[in-house]
């Protein structure tokens, strides 16, 4: 009986292997990418569900859809960082801007927020700013030098 299964060759013999490896390393920016994307996604997930976790759906009804939408936006940024890091890390500054917005939003969107709501949004916003700066640093490190 003949062996008709497809055997895969080693990529090391490919003529463009060094260029592909350099492009892959440049695109991912090292192992930092995986260390940043997970926490960003978890932050977005927590931000989206925080009104129900902290039970301020009745005391601050305007902040409920606000935190849901901003949390989904942060989560989508994290998914974009994972799926297309070379294109999406330019938007890491947008995540920092979302973080700044989360810090000031209890006073702008909410009405007479209590300490728990303020702390929740300030911590989420601070972490978003910090992770956005880490993503921006990763993007700056992975851009090709002229």
Burial class (CB in 10 A: 0-12, 13-18, 19+), 39: middle
- Kindly state the tokens that stand for 30: 């090292």
Q: Percentages helix, strand, coil for the chain, rounded to the nearest 5? A: 75, 0, 25
- pTM of the predicted model, to two decimals? 0.74
More confident residue, 91 or 35: 91
- Please, what is the Cα angle at 110 between 75 and 51, to 5 degrees? 45
**Radius of gyration from C-alpha coordinates of the chain:** 21
Question: Residue 104 pLDDT > 80, yes or no?
Answer: yes
- Kindly state the tokens that stand for 79: 């998914």
Cα 52 to Cα 50: distance, rounded to the nearest angstrom: 5
Question: Residue 31 pLDDT > 60, yes or no?
Answer: no
CB atoms within 10 A of CB 37: 22
- Kindly state the tokens that stand for 78: 């994290």
Of 134, 135, 126, 76, nearest in space to 101 by CA = 126
Please, which residues have CB within 8 angstroms of residue 67's CB and are 6 or more apart in sequence? 47, 48, 50, 51, 121, 124
Question: Residue 7 pLDDT > 80, yes or no?
Answer: no
> How confident is the model over 33-64, as pLDDT tens digits?
567 788 999 999 999 999 999 988 888 999 99
Question: Residue 20 pLDDT > 60, yes or no?
Answer: yes
């Amino acid at each position: 009986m003949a062996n008709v299964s497809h055997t895969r060759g080693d990529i090391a013999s490919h003529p463009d292997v060094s260029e592909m490896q350099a492009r892959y390393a440049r695109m991912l920016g090292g192992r930092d990418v995986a260390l940043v994307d997970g926490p960003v996604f978890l932050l977005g997930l927590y931000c989206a569900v925080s009104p129900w976790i902290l039970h301020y759906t009745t005391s601050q009804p305007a902040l409920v859809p606000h935190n849901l939408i901003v949390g989904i936006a942060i989560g989508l940024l994290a998914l974009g960082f994972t799926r297309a890091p070379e294109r999406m890390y330019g938007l890491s500054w947008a995540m920092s801007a979302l973080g700044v917005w989360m810090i000031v939003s209890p006073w702008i969107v909410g009405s007479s927020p209590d300490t728990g709501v303020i702390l929740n949004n300030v911590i989420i916003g601070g972490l978003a700013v910090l992770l956005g700066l880490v993503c921006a640093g990763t993007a700056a490190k992975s851009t090709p030098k002229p």
